[in-house]
Structure 1
Amino acid sequence: MQKNGFIIDQNLKEMTEHRTDTLAVACYETTIAQNVHGHIPLHWHDELQVVSVLQGTALFHINDQKVVIPKGDGIFINSGTMHMAEDHSENENCIYLCLNMSPHVLLPSDLYVKYVHPYVTATNLPFLYIEGAVSWGEQILGAIGLIRKELVEQAPYYEVNVASALLNMWKLLITNGYSLEHDPSEMNRNKRMKDMLQWIHLNYSDPIKLEDIARTGQLSRSETCRYFKQMLRTTPMQYVMDYRIQISIELLQLSERNITEIAYDVGFNSTSYYINQFRKTMNVTPLQFRRKVIQKKILKKRSSD
């Protein structure tokens, strides 16, 4: 199964249902550059995620950190952690296996409280780098491939095999992780950030000022700028600009609205300004981008006929 896109709600939460008929688990292969945005956009989900890089090198942005993951290594991303991914360099064509699982699928409730919940809620464990060269890392990354095989083939008792592999993987993760911390201030910081991003995503088509974003996060303007700089490596208003461009990319591909209509739909009050900003981001104009998309669809249709 190749995954090239997913749905994100106004709060940046991924809405994809990660499960089979009987297990709250999904495993798929992702080629970063084939995503509709050319990268995996910023998002979060309730599921735990374990990634194994199969080809090229991935660059993950996780909260306020950048993590480079070459072929043969991987990463664990905790529940509720904001993250995005892109190719580490141009023409990298990075491919990775991604395993998503509900925290509750790992252990029964009486053991979940002791061996899962403390790790899911730890404020100092947004991610854990997995080195394929060390024994425990090699076992975890190998297990992802085995789980994917079980989910695809669905031979008799495959659910038992998957559950067993997940349990062993989880034990390896928690016994090679960190001393856990639960910092209320860090939890509050993450909530403020999500609240501000949600507000932007709900109001991107309207005029937005820095004061509006700061008010949503109950912060001063300078504190708001510091939050965005630390966690997203950008400014609040640049994030608004980038988000509007992202939405316009989807509209250019999925709708027949003209360039001016799209510009105003996503919050620009000038078509020429939208075109200039789009070109700065994508290195082509919106019209050139749309033509490329149409051409790709034609070529794909011809190759499948």
Structure 2
Amino acid sequence: MQKIIVSTDENLRELTKHHTFVMPIACYKSVISNDNSNHIYGYVPLHWHEEIQFVSVLQGEGIFQVNEEYIELKEGDGLFINSGRLHMSKSNTSCTFICLNVSPHYILSQELYNIYVKPYIEATNLPYILINTDELWGKNILNAIYQIYQYIDQKPQKYEVDISIKLTFIWRNLIASGFQLQFIESEELKNNRVKGMLSWIHQYYMEKITLADIARAGQLSKSECCRYFKRYFKMSPLNYVIDYRIKKSLYLLQRSDFSVTEVAYQVGFNSTSYYISKFKEIMRTTPLAYQKKILNNGPSN
């Protein structure tokens, strides 16, 4: 099974182009599992993108994080993730789901976008919406997601038009469910501060980093910075740095011309033994064993 890397820039904005053929959408099946995932980390790491995202769980159970909240989904459940929100997914067992990403501007015409889409995208009280399959609107959305997935897979005649119709149908059902919209400036500021701290870490992870550096990037005190990371990541800021360095090292370990020691120093560790210890703690294997396995199985996508 080929491994998927969710590629992001220094702001955690996903670089993957969510385009399928000529339409600004992507609809695909994804598997997250500790044992047999099609993602390089075994889960989908924290990232964000301008596209809105719909998730429909086909099998198993998954844990989806949106901003600082965690949502458990099981077979038959669905989730809407709003544009620009930090999110990730993992599973303690295994989870297979369909993921539909679509540009908000593609859902309706520009005239209708300003009335029926933009207010929902900008609302700070809607980082996500649980799709309630006990209600008709929820069933309609999940059925339409699966039909879009089939259209892309089977490509019947004029299926692009059918997809466009289904997207409008999905959005109509979502906004008809009666959500009240709010815009709270402090919530938007909090989201931007988190992105600012992550952006700084991802730019300077190869250098020496202190807690004061990270707090300064978010315009926060050191204690408030720690509270932010505990809420969003369930870890301290400096442990996040270590975790990020380990993840960056996975890319380098896929190359046969880098030794473990060279990789350790390139991602910001000043001790090979400490790098190996932290790698084993996070990845449950050693860097050398991981590198050998990857090189024997061929490069990842």
Please classify the TM superposition score into its range, dividing by the shorter chain length. Answer: over 0.9
Q: Distance in 2 between matches of 1:79 and 1:102?
A: 9
| Residues 1:282 and 2:283 aligned together | yes
Give matches, 1:115-154, under 5 Å. Answer: 115-154=116-155
Structure 2 length as normaliser, TM-score? 0.93
Question: Which range is displaced more, 173-182 or 58-67?
Answer: 173-182
Q: Is the 8 A contact 2:66 2:86 kept in 1?
A: yes
Give matches, 1:16-95, under 5 Å. Answer: 16-32=16-32, 33-87=37-91, 89=92, 92-95=93-96
AA aligned to 1:25 is I
Name stretches of at least 5 consecutive residues in structure 2 with no aligned partner.
none
Once the two structures are superposed, what CA deviation does each residue of 1:36-78 show, in whole Å capped at 9, x if it has no partner? 1111011000000001111111111111111111011111000
Q: Distance in 1 between matches of 2:221 and 2:170?
A: 43
AA aligned to 1:6 is V
Alpha-carbon distance, 1:254 to partner: 4.1
Question: Which range is displaced more, 116-125 or 243-252?
Answer: 243-252
- SS at structure 2 position matched to 1:49: strand
Q: Distance in 1 between matches of 2:135 and 2:110?
A: 31
* Structure 2 CA distance for partners of 1:157 and 1:164, relative to 1, 3 Å: same
- SS at structure 2 position matched to 1:94: strand
Aligned residues: 295
* Structure 2 CA distance for partners of 1:141 and 1:268, relative to 1, 3 Å: same
* Structure 2 CA distance for partners of 1:51 and 1:177, relative to 1, 3 Å: farther
Q: Is the 8 A contact 2:206 2:268 kept in 1?
A: yes
Once the two structures are superposed, what CA deviation does each residue of 1:145-203 show, in whole Å capped at 9, x if it has no partner? 11112223333322221111111101111122521110011111111110110110010
Q: Distance in 2 between matches of 1:68 and 1:60?
A: 6
* Structure 2 CA distance for partners of 1:42 and 1:121, relative to 1, 3 Å: same
Match of 2:113 in 1: 112
Once the two structures are superposed, what CA deviation does each residue of 1:239-274 show, in whole Å capped at 9, x if it has no partner? 101000111122212453000000000100000111
Match of 2:163 in 1: 162
Q: Is the 8 A contact 1:3 1:28 kept in 2?
A: no
Question: Which range is displaced more, 45-54 or 147-156?
Answer: 147-156
Once the two structures are superposed, what CA deviation does each residue of 1:71-98 show, in whole Å capped at 9, x if it has no partner? 11111000000011111x1xx2311110
AA aligned to 2:64 is F
* Structure 2 CA distance for partners of 1:255 and 1:3, relative to 1, 3 Å: closer
AA aligned to 2:227 is R
Match of 1:204 in 2: 205
Q: Distance in 2 between matches of 1:297 and 1:21?
A: 27
Q: Distance in 2 between matches of 1:284 and 1:209?
A: 28
AA aligned to 2:266 is D
Q: Distance in 1 between matches of 2:69 and 2:96?
A: 21
Q: Distance in 1 between matches of 2:264 and 2:70?
A: 31
Q: Is the 8 A contact 1:64 1:233 kept in 2?
A: no
Q: Distance in 2 between matches of 1:100 and 1:201?
A: 25
Alignment RMSD = 1.8
Structure 1 length as normaliser, TM-score? 0.92
